[in-house]
Amino acid sequence: MARKIGSRYTAHQILGRGSAGTVWLGDGPEGPVAIKLLREDLASDQELVGRFVQERTALLGLDHPRVVGVRDLVVDGTDLALVMDLVRGTDLRTRLDRERRLAPEAAVAIAADVADGLAAAHAAGVVHRDVKPENILLDMEGPLGPGGAHPALLTDFGVAKLIDTPRRTRATKIIGTPDYLAPEIVEGLPPRAAVDIYALATVLYELLAGFTPFGGGHPGAVLRRHVTETVVPLPGIPEELWQLLVQCLAKAPASRLRASELSARLRDQLPLLAGMPPLDVDEPGTEDEEAAYPAYDEPQALSADEPRRRGAVPLVPGSAPDSNRDTHTSMRVPAPDELAGGARGTARAPRAAGQRRPGSARNKPDAVRRRRLVLGGAAVLVAAAIGVGGWLAATGEGQEPAPQDTEQSAPSQP
């Protein structure tokens, strides 16, 4: 079914859905495009529409081969749409779901591409703030690179910033995707370029291991781990690559590499990784923590036959009418002492494949595991939400900080 978007574009077929809306395959005066049609409740928010229009230049301004370009912004009646370059391929989450983990050479090649895109964005004064596999697209029509990896492009630049306004997101709600949230965000500091580096290092770890370094269990527990736990080595990972990951997952933002340096260091490693098979590691259990939390119901938005995705919190609060992912969980603000008190270990050390942890939650039926998932009292929620509350407060209109410790020079985003 075709649908007109403004006077210049026609949407033909749904490519995918996210928390902010639906992405369509469409065409316009210059050929095929991808059209991200924002959810109706967002599109009817006049303040939000105003922000998109105000940021039009910034949205349309990023021009880099590793960034999905935004070509146009359509505001038409109840429609608010971003018209983007069409990437023919898939998103990295889909590939990861299919393959579970990638060979190190391919994983590093993809991460280097994304780092290139980030370097360009940071130089232009833009922080992405939502780097995750869902926002990395693989261009299947592009030339094959190291490890047989297709070129990777980062998408959704600037959208998180526009949608996450204090008015839309009460300070009691946490915004973002917990697995990829840098500790300084959890602690309430404003997001600068280094948060993207942390998120990208998390993605690279996930590509190599099949799970994120601090993910698993209740979203609040995930946030707490970002702040209190150190990343545990992956069995079999080359030392230099491991050191790079450790540096970019540093708790202190200033200790992380800049995007251009990360890209160069990743590419330096590629020859050493050629032909290396995927790492053979087993996902750690979270049973100790799960036992500490009362029952937690899975988010409603996920349909029964859909594969479960990692716990995540919505970019936009509230149920998403056209969303079918469990990237839509809302969390309550934890009390300050909860975070501090939640620093107990979680026994999340990855094990070489085959090594079983006695009584691992991995061996429990899914429904049981789910019921035992977190919520409520314990540790985490607390500091997390307090931190993010501070972050939200700090990212109000006109308060977005210029990306610091980026490739400097460039003007900051208005």
Ligand X SMILES: Nc1ncnc2c1ncn2[C@@H]1O[C@H](COP(=O)(O)OP(=O)(O)OP(=O)(O)O)[C@@H](O)[C@H]1O
Residues at the site binding ligand X, with contacts judged by CB under 6 A: 15-21, 23, 34, 36, 68, 84-87, 91, 134-135, 137, 155-156, 315, 327
Q: CB of 163: closest distance to ligand X in angstroms?
A: 9
Q: What letter would DSSP give residue 308?
A: P
Cβ proximity to ligand X, 36 vs 122, nearer residue: 36
Q: What angle do CA 369, 186, 254 make, to 5 degrees?
A: 125
* Total length of the chain: 414
Q: Are 71 and 115 in contact (CB under 8 A)?
A: no
Q: CB of 264: closest distance to ligand X in angstroms?
A: 27
Catalytic residue list: 130
Q: CB of 326: closest distance to ligand X in angstroms?
A: 10
Q: CB of 58: closest distance to ligand X in angstroms?
A: 18
Instruction: Burial-class residue 7 by CB neighbours within 10 Å (0-12, 13-18, 19+).
Output: exposed
Cβ proximity to ligand X, 150 vs 258, nearer residue: 150
Q: CB of 141: closest distance to ligand X in angstroms?
A: 11
Cβ proximity to ligand X, 59 vs 378, nearer residue: 59
Max intra-chain CA distance, the chain: 62
What residues have CB less than 8 Å from 331, skipping those under 6 apart? 173, 174, 219, 220, 313, 381, 384, 385
- Whole-number Å distance between alpha carbons of 96 and 84: 24
Report how far Cα 309 is from the mean position of its chain's Cα atoms. 12
Cβ proximity to ligand X, 21 vs 334, nearer residue: 21
Chain residue whose CB lies nearest ligand X: 18
- Whole-number Å distance between alpha carbons of 328 and 206: 20
Cβ proximity to ligand X, 129 vs 265, nearer residue: 129
